Structure 1
Amino acid sequence: MTRLSRAVLPTLRGVRIPAYDPAGITVGIVHLGVGAFHRAHQAVYTDAVLAADPTWGISGYTQRSAAVRDRLAPQDGLYTVLERGAGAGPPHVVGALREIRGPEEDGGPAARIADPRVRLVTLTVTEKGYRPDAPTVGRLVAGLDARRRADAGPVSVLSCDNLPANGATLRGLVADRCAALPDGERLLDWITTSVAFPSCVVDRIVPATTPADLAAAASALGVADEGAVVAEPFTQWVIEDAFAAGRPDWAATFTADVAPYEAAKLRLLNATHSLLAYTGALAGHDTIAAAMTDPALAETAYRFMTEDAVPTLTLPPGFDLGGYQDTILRRFADPALGHRTAQVAADGSLKLPIRLLGTARDRLAAGATPQWTALAVAAWMVYVATRQPLDDPIAGTLAAATAGYSTPASLVDPLLELLPPVPYPAWRDMLLAHTARLLHDR
Structure 2
Amino acid sequence: MKLSKETLSRLHESDTLQLPASNCFDLPEKVLQFGTGVLLRGLPDAFIDKANKEGHFNGRIVVVKSTDKGSTAAFDEQDNLYTQCVRGIEGGRKVSVDIINASISRVLNAASQWEQILACATDPQMEIVISNTTEVGIAYVAESIHAAPPASFPAKLLAFLYQRYLHFNGDGTKGMVIIPTELIPDNGHRLKEILLRLSAFNELGAAFTDWLERSNDFCSSLVDCIVPGAAALTPGYDDDLMIMTEVYRLWAIETNSERVKQRLSFSESDAGVVLSPDINVFRELKLRLLNGTHTLSCGLAFLAGLDTVKAAMNHEPMATYMEALMMQEIIPAITDKHIRPDAAIRFASAVLDRFRNPYIEHRWLSICTQYTSKLKMRVLPVLLHYHERTEQVPALISLGFAAHLLFMRGDATYSITDEYAGWYQEQWQQHTPETLAQITLSNTAVWGQDLTTIPGFTQLVTVMLKALLTEGPAVYLNRIATEITIS
The corresponding residue for 1:394 is: none
Q: Which of 73, 96, 100 pairs up with 2:107? A: 100
Q: Report if aligned partners of 2:230, 2:242 keep a CA contact under 8 Å in 1.
A: no
Residues in 2 aligned to 1:381 and 1:147: alpha-carbon distance in whole angstroms: 55
The corresponding residue for 2:350 is: 327
One-letter code aligned to 2:126: V
The corresponding residue for 2:2 is: 3
Deviations 1:23-70 (A, max 9, x none): 313221122333222222211110022242665211223465644734
The corresponding residue for 1:195 is: 216
Q: How far off is 1:286 after superposition?
A: 3.5
Residues in 1 aligned to 2:137 and 2:409: alpha-carbon distance in whole angstroms: 25
The corresponding residue for 2:335 is: 313
Where does 1:284-323 land on structure 2 (aligned, <5 Å)? 284-305=305-326, 306-314=328-336, 315=338, 319-323=342-346
Residues in 2 aligned to 1:164 and 1:94: alpha-carbon distance in whole angstroms: 29
Q: How far off is 1:339 after superposition?
A: 3.5
The corresponding residue for 2:229 is: 209
Residues in 2 aligned to 1:404 and 1:360: alpha-carbon distance in whole angstroms: 21
- Percent pairwise identity: 21
The corresponding residue for 2:121 is: 114
Secondary structure of the equivalent of 2:293?
helix
Deviations 1:289-341 (A, max 9, x none): 11223344324423432313542233456944333322321321232333344
Give the TM-score normalised by structure 1.
Answer: 0.76
Residues in 2 aligned to 1:380 and 1:107: alpha-carbon distance in whole angstroms: 49
Secondary structure of the equivalent of 1:407?
helix
The corresponding residue for 1:273 is: 294
The corresponding residue for 2:481 is: none
Matched, 1:230 2:244: yes
Q: Report if aligned partners of 1:160, 1:201 keep a CA contact under 8 Å in 2.
A: yes
- Which one has the largest radius of gyration? 2
Residues in 2 aligned to 1:162 and 1:434: alpha-carbon distance in whole angstroms: 37
Q: Which of 16, 27, 30 pairs up with 2:29? A: 27
Q: How far off is 1:143 after superposition?
A: 3.7
Secondary structure of the equivalent of 2:106?
strand
One-letter code aligned to 1:338: E
Residues in 2 aligned to 1:378 and 1:191: alpha-carbon distance in whole angstroms: 51
The corresponding residue for 1:123 is: 131
One-letter code aligned to 2:239: D
Q: Report if aligned partners of 1:35, 1:62 keep a CA contact under 8 Å in 2.
A: no
Gap change, CA 1:148 and 1:260, over 3 Å in 2:
same
Q: Report if aligned partners of 2:406, 2:465 keep a CA contact under 8 Å in 1.
A: no
Residues in 2 aligned to 1:125 and 1:264: alpha-carbon distance in whole angstroms: 24
Gaps of 5+ in 1: 391-397
Q: How far off is 1:346 after superposition?
A: 6.0
The corresponding residue for 2:79 is: 76
The corresponding residue for 1:248 is: 265
Residues in 2 aligned to 1:166 and 1:77: alpha-carbon distance in whole angstroms: 28
Deviations 1:105-151 (A, max 9, x none): 52499626734432111233454544678944444444444444444
Matched, 1:12 2:26: no
Q: 166-175 vs 117-126, which deviates more?
A: 166-175
Gap change, CA 1:122 and 1:325, over 3 Å in 2:
same
One-letter code aligned to 1:23: F
Residues in 2 aligned to 1:98 and 1:163: alpha-carbon distance in whole angstroms: 28
Q: How far off is 1:198 after superposition?
A: 2.4
Q: How far off is 1:97 after superposition?
A: 1.7
Q: How far off is 1:8 after superposition?
A: 0.8
Secondary structure of the equivalent of 2:265?
coil
The corresponding residue for 1:338 is: 361
Q: How far off is 1:99 after superposition?
A: 2.0
Where does 1:41-52 land on structure 2 (aligned, <5 Å)? 41-51=43-53, 52=55
Q: How far off is 1:95 after superposition?
A: 0.7
One-letter code aligned to 2:201: L
Residues in 2 aligned to 1:350 and 1:148: alpha-carbon distance in whole angstroms: 44
Gap change, CA 1:287 and 1:59, over 3 Å in 2:
farther
The corresponding residue for 2:483 is: none
Secondary structure of the equivalent of 1:76?
coil
Gap change, CA 1:38 and 1:363, over 3 Å in 2:
same
Gap change, CA 1:228 and 1:293, over 3 Å in 2:
same
Gap change, CA 1:334 and 1:77, over 3 Å in 2:
same
Secondary structure of the equivalent of 1:82?
strand
Q: Report if aligned partners of 1:83, 1:90 keep a CA contact under 8 Å in 2.
A: yes
Q: 2-11 vs 100-109, which deviates more?
A: 100-109
Give the TM-score normalised by structure 2.
Answer: 0.70
Gap change, CA 1:194 and 1:321, over 3 Å in 2:
same
Residues in 2 aligned to 1:399 and 1:74: alpha-carbon distance in whole angstroms: 44
Gap change, CA 1:107 and 1:47, over 3 Å in 2:
same
Deviations 1:391-442 (A, max 9, x none): xxxxxxx5686379322569969x97588x3565548969995996799669
Deviations 1:340-364 (A, max 9, x none): 4456556878866664454355446
Secondary structure of the equivalent of 1:80?
strand
Q: How far off is 1:227 after superposition?
A: 1.1
Q: How far off is 1:102 after superposition?
A: 4.6
Where does 1:150-229 land on structure 2 (aligned, <5 Å)? 150=167, 151=170, 153-175=174-196, 177-178=197-198, 181-183=201-203, 186=206, 188-206=209-227, 208-213=228-233, 216=234, 220-221=235-236, 223-229=237-243
Q: 73-82 vs 377-386, which deviates more?
A: 377-386
One-letter code aligned to 1:406: E
Gaps of 5+ in 2: 142-150, 429-435, 474-487
Q: Report if aligned partners of 1:155, 1:195 keep a CA contact under 8 Å in 2.
A: yes
Residues in 1 aligned to 2:371 and 2:340: alpha-carbon distance in whole angstroms: 32
Q: Report if aligned partners of 1:36, 1:229 keep a CA contact under 8 Å in 2.
A: yes
